[in-house]
Amino acid sequence: MRSLVQQLPSTSWKFSIKHYCRFSSSLPWISPLQYLKPRSPKPDPPSRSTSLSPTQELQRKPKFISHDSAISMIKREKDPQRALEIFNMAATQRGFNHNHSTYSTILHKLAQYKKFNAVDAILRQMTFETCKFHEALFLNLMAHFSKSSLHEMTLEMFYAIQPIVREKPSLKAISTCLNLLVESDRLDLARKLLSYSKKTLDLKPNTCIFNILVKHHCKKGNLDSAFKVVEEMRKSQVSHPNLITYSTLMGGLCDSGRLKEAIELFEEMVSKDKILPDALTYNILINGFCRGGKVDRARKIMDFMRKNGCQPNLFNYSALMNGFCKEGRTQEVTEVFNEMRSSGVEPDAVGYTTIINCFCRAGRVDEALKLLKEMKEKECRTDIVTFNVILGGLCRERRFDEALVMLEGLPYQGVYLNKASYRIVLNFLCKEKDMENAIKLLSLMMERGFLPHFATSNELLISLCEAGKVTDATEALNGLGEMGFKPEPALWVHLIELICRERKLVSVFQLLDDLVIPEGSSTQKMPFF
C-alpha cells in the first residue's frame, strides 16, 4: 500500500483539505478510525417521549445491519455528525466491513455539508481497505470541491484515484476534472492535469478532452486558439473533430459576428468530414443570423434544414420568432408560429411568450390576451415572464385598471409575482401621473412585502407632493420608511416646504423629529439616516 501512495506527485496525496477547513462549519466530527464500542452495562430504556440517537438505535437493535440498511439510514439522516455515527457504528458489528457503496454514501453526505476535514480522514482510511473502489466516487467529490471553489482539491481528487482505486484514471475522469477546472477558469491547474496525465499516466487526450478546450477558447473569444486545438486534434491518432467540435466553433464565430465564416465551416463539416448536422447545429446558425440582424437569411437556413431531412424543433422555431419579434415584424412572427403548430410542434411557454411579447409591442394586447387564455386551456404552464410581458403591454395601452386587477388576482390563482411585476405597473403610473392608482398599488406592494425601486419611490413621493396630496405622501413615506426606504434629502425639503405652505406646523415638527436623531438617543422612529 505504501508503494501505491508514493506513486502520487508530492503535492497531491497528503490531502491538503485541512488547509481549507475554514470553509467548513465548526460542527465536531468523529474520526472514522475511532469506532464506537457497544456500551456495557446496557443503559436504562428511554421513555416514550425521548428520541433515540442513531448510535442508540443501532445498539438496541439485535438485528444485523446490512450494507443496504446502513446506506438507507445515512441517506435519510440530515445531520452529517449523526450520519457519521451510523457509519462508524455499523462497522462495530462482527463480520461487517464497509464497501464501496457505504464509503461513497458517507463521503457524499459529508461533502454535501462541506465537512471536508471528515472527508479527508475517511479518504485516508480507504487506503488501508481491501475492498474494491470505483472512480465514480472521486468524480462526485470533484464536483463538490469545485462547487465550493476548492479547485486545488478538485485536482487532488483526480490524483487520489490511482492509489485508492488501484487503477489508472479513465479518460472520463480526466475530462470530468478538466471540464470543472476550465469552467472555473483555473487554466494553471488544467495544464498540470494534462501534463500529469500525459507523462505519468501515458493517457492521450480523446475528442471529448479536445472539445472542452475548444469550448473554453470559444467562450473567451479566442477563436485562433480554438482552431489550433482542432489542428492538434486532427494530428492525434485517437481523436477527430465531431459534430460537437464543429457546433462549438460555429457558435464562437456567430458570437463574434463572423457569420460568413460560420457558413463556410458548416459546408466544410458536411463536404469534407461527412458529418451531418442536427437541429442543435442548425439552431446555432439560426440564432447567430437573427442576432446579427439577418433574419431572412436565418429563415432560409431553416428552409434548407427542412429540405435536407432535418425537421425543425421547438427551439428552432422559437429562435426564428424571436428574431422577427426584435425587428417588429409581427406578421412574420405569426406565420412562423402557425407553421410550427401545423407541423405538429406544440409551443411551450417560451414560444407563447415570444409571440405574446411581439403582439404587446405592436399594440395588439387583445390578441396577446387570447393567446394567454389559450395557454391556460392547453395547460401550458405560464411563468412570471409571460405575465410581466402582458402587464407591460396593458400599461403601454394605458389600461391600468386591467393591469391592477391582474396584479391583485394572480397570487390567488397560484401565480407568484416578483417585484418586477409591481414595478412595471408602478413606473407607468408615475410616468402618467396617475397618483390615485399609484397609491393603491403602493399599498398592495407594501402589504405583500415588496419595496419599490429607490428612484421610483422618490419620484412617486415627489409627484404626490406636486399633486397636492401631502397627507398621502406623508403616510406613504412612513410606510416605506418602516420597510427600510431612505429618501433623498431633497425629498424631505420638498415635503416640509409644502406642509409649511398649508400651515400644518405640527406635521412639520413630526417630520423633523423623524429626520433628526436627538443627541444621546439610541432610538428613532424611522431609520433614514
Residue 51: what pLDDT? 54
Domain count for the chain: 2
Residue 234 counted as domain residue: no
Task: Give the SS3 label for residue 314.
Answer: helix
- Cβ neighbours of residue 91 under 8 Å, at least 6 residues apart? 35, 97, 98
CA distance 177 to 171: 10
What integer pLDDT is reported at residue 238 of this predicted model? Answer: 80
Residue 42 lies in a domain: yes
Angle at 43 between CA 40 and CA 48, to 5 degrees: 155
431 contact partners, CB below 8 Å, separation of at least 6: none
CA distance 238 to 234: 9
Residue 369 φ then ψ, to 5°: -65, -35
In a domain, 192, yes or no: no
* 293: helix, strand or coil: coil
Is 229 a domain residue? no
Quick check: 328 and 362 in contact, CB under 8 A?
yes
Residue 143 belongs to domain spanning: 1-165
Q: Does residue 258 lie within any of the structural domains? A: no
User: Nearest CA to 284 among 266, 264, 270?
Assistant: 266
Q: Which residues contact 237 (CB under 8 A, 6 or more apart)?
A: 204
Q: Write down the pLDDT at residue 292.
A: 92
Residue 13 lies in a domain: yes
Q: Looking at the domain assignment, is residue 34 inside a domain? A: yes
pTM across the whole model? 0.71
C-alpha span between 438 and 444 (Å, rounded): 10
- Domain presence at residue 286: no
Crossing angle for the helix pair 349-361 and 365-377, to the nearest 10 degrees: 160
Among the three residues 147, 165, 183, which one is the final residue of a domain in this structure?
Answer: 165
Per residue of the chain (529 residues), what is the pLDDT tens digit?
333 233 333 334 444 444 444 344 444 444 544 444 444 444 444 444 445 565 555 555 557 889 999 999 999 999 999 999 999 999 999 889 999 999 999 999 999 999 999 999 999 999 999 899 999 999 999 999 999 999 999 999 999 999 999 999 999 999 999 999 999 999 999 999 999 998 998 888 899 999 999 999 999 999 999 999 999 998 887 889 999 999 999 999 999 999 999 999 999 999 998 999 999 999 999 999 999 999 999 999 999 999 999 999 999 999 999 999 999 899 999 999 999 999 999 888 888 999 999 999 989 999 999 999 999 888 888 888 999 999 999 999 999 999 999 999 988 888 888 888 888 998 898 888 888 888 888 888 878 878 776 677 777 777 777 676 767 766 776 667 666 666 666 666 666 666 665 554 444 445 445 544 444 444 444 333 2
| Domain end position, chosen among 165, 192, 220 | 165
Question: Of 116, 146, 165, which closes a domain?
Answer: 165
Using CA atoms, how far apart are residues 251 and 254, in angstroms rounded to an integer?
5
